[in-house]
Amino acid sequence: MKRLRLSSDSTSTFESPPKAGQPHQLAQGIGVSGELWQLQAALGELYLTDGNEQQARRMYTQATSVIQGLADRIHDEQVRIRFLSSLQIQSVFERF
**Could you read off the pLDDT of 29-58 as tens digits, one per residue?**
555 567 889 989 999 999 999 999 999 999
Q: Looking at the predicted structure, is the pLDDT value of residue 7 above 60?
A: no
Stretch 75-93: mean pLDDT:
94
* pLDDT score, position 31: 54
65: containing domain: 2-95
Nearest to 66 by CA among 85, 92, 47, 46: 92
Q: Looking at the predicted structure, is the pLDDT value of residue 4 above 90?
A: no
Task: Determine phi and psi for 12, rounding to 5 degrees.
Answer: -105, 130
pTM tops 0.75, yes or no: no
Beta-bridged to residue 13, according to DSSP, are: 3
The total number of structural domains in the chain stands at 1
